[in-house]
């Protein structure tokens, strides 16, 4: 059946884990579901989080309680600008001191460093001072003048990088005092991987974890693939549907979601580390990959890479399935993702397989 927007959205009631930002679980046309999906919604990481797993209610709820608890802990400890373990580390880095860190934070920093290196530092979580300069350290949308070009250029010239970090017996330090860690482009992916691992360890192998549109699934839903919608970056609703099963993350990084506005101009919250300016040409990059943390880092880097350079970067990071949407609404896809994407509603103005 070819999906039109109408019949697609009308299909059955199935599961309802609310439309998030980048991706969402969609209702599917099934006969009445046999396996119960026990689900939960919470607000953490500054976004709506949906979790669900098939199984007996008490067991699933117990696992979801543990995940909720862990997510709240991650949010507290890894927050980019609120007091917690990461902000304590950032204060030490700025003063040139070493700081002892937990094994969890060290693993996170090492993972983020690896992804940063693989992305040629287009994914660069060391640029927290630039994020601060742009005043993106806020839970509410900003309406204020952008920083001066001189201030941005001066900070950019200091070239903060994860490669400046040193790990030794004293803890973590930086040879560059301008390094300030912001894991906003990575920690959600790590949290998703942790949650799916935790559910699997409890024997819950059919599950979904959606952190504000950064979504991953395990197994199947009622014996069929999970049915995922990718949100339209420039409008309401869904632009495409993708079926997924096994262990897959579908992560979208978008410049439409968080930004500041000044004098009629939008300044998205993803910064090009080369210029210190917001990345504007790609409005969204969706990545499918087994590892949600890697997909999260890659999606951010692909937005920065832009419409010309994303295929080379994806290849360099070992990401095969990518869909990129540009400012004009044109869609470019890798050959590996193309057969999996069904557009919903009016087809995009331009669709290109790269």
Nearer to ligand AMP, 178 or 258 (CB): 258
Q: Does residue 48 belong to the site contacting ligand AMP (CB under 6 A)?
A: no
Q: Does residue 99 belong to the site contacting ligand AMP (CB under 6 A)?
A: no
CA atoms within 13 A on the CB side of 215: 32
CA 199 distance to own-chain centroid = 20
Choose the one of Mg ion, ligand AMP, none that binds residue 222, judging by a C-beta under 5 to 8 angstroms depending on kind.
none
Q: Does residue 206 belong to the site contacting ligand AMP (CB under 6 A)?
A: no
Q: Does residue 84 belong to the site contacting ligand AMP (CB under 6 A)?
A: no
> Using CB under 6 A as the criterion, what x/- string covers residues 126-145 for binding ligand AMP?
-x---x----x---------
Q: Does residue 276 belong to the site contacting ligand AMP (CB under 6 A)?
A: no
- Answer for the pair 130, 124: CB distance below 8 angstroms, yes or no: no
CB of 187 to ligand AMP, least distance (A): 9
Q: Does residue 182 belong to the site contacting Mg ion (CB under 5 A)?
A: no
Nearer to ligand AMP, 122 or 331 (CB): 122
Listed ranges 37-45, 119-127, 203-211, 233-241: which one lies at the site for ligand AMP (CB under 6 A): 119-127
Applying the rule CB under 5 A, the residues between 288 and 307 that interact with Mg ion are 296, 299-300
Which of 84, 111, 160, 184: binder of ligand AMP (CB under 6 A)? 184
- Answer for the pair 64, 53: CB distance below 8 angstroms, yes or no: yes
Q: Does residue 253 belong to the site contacting ligand AMP (CB under 6 A)?
A: yes
Choose the one of Mg ion, ligand AMP, none that binds residue 227, judging by a C-beta under 5 to 8 angstroms depending on kind.
none
Nearer to Mg ion, 222 or 296 (CB): 296
Q: Does residue 324 belong to the site contacting ligand AMP (CB under 6 A)?
A: no
Listed ranges 26-34, 179-187, 220-228, 345-353: which one lies at the site for Mg ion (CB under 5 A): 179-187
Residues lying near ligand AMP in the complex (CB under 6 A) are found at 80, 123-125, 127, 131, 136, 182, 184-185, 253, 258, 269-271, 273, 296, 299-300, 304
The residues binding Mg ion (CB under 5 A) are 185, 253, 296, 299-300
């Amino acid at each position: 059946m070819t999906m039109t927007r109408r019949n697609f959205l009308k299909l059955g009631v199935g599961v309802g884990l609310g439309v998030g930002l980048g991706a969402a679980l969609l209702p599917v046309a099934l006969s009445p579901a046999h396996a119960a999906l026990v689900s939960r919604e919470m607000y953490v990481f500054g976004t709506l989080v949906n979790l669900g797993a098939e199984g007996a209610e008490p067991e699933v709820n117990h696992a979801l309680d543990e995940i909720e608890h862990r997510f709240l802990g991650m949010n507290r400890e890894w927050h980019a600008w609120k007091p917690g373990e990461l902000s304590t580390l950032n204060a030490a880095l700025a003063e040139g001191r070493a700081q002892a860190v937990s094994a969890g934070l060290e693993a996170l920093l090492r993972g983020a460093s690896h992804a940063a290196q693989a992305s040629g530092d287009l994914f660069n979580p060391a640029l927290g001072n630039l994020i601060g300069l742009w005043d993106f350290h806020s839970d509410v949308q900003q309406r204020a003048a952008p920083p001066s070009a001189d201030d941005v250029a001066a900070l950019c010239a200091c070239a903060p990088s994860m490669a400046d970090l040193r790990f030794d017996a004293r803890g973590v330090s930086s040879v560059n005092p301008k390094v300030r860690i912001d894991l906003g482009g990575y920690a959600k992916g790590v949290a998703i991987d942790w949650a799916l691992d935790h559910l699997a360890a409890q024997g819950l192998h059919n599950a979904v974890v959606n952190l504000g549109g950064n979504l991953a699934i395990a197994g199947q839903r009622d014996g069929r693939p999970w049915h995922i919608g990718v949100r339209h970056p420039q409008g309401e609703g869904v632009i495409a549907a993708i079926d997924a099963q096994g262990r897959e993350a579908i992560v979208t990084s978008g410049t439409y979601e968080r930004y500041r506005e000044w004098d009629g101009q939008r300044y998205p919250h993803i910064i090009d580390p080369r210029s210190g300016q917001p990345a504007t040409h790609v409005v969204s990059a969706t990545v499918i990959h087994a590892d949600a943390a890697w997909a999260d880092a890659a999606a951010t880097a692909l937005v920065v890479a832009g419409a010309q350079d994303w295929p080379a970067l994806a290849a360099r990071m070992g990401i095969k399935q990518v869909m990129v949407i540009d400012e004009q609404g044109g869609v470019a896809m890798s050959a590996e993702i193309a057969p999996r994407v069904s557009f919903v509603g009016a087809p995009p103005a331009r669709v290109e397989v790269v």
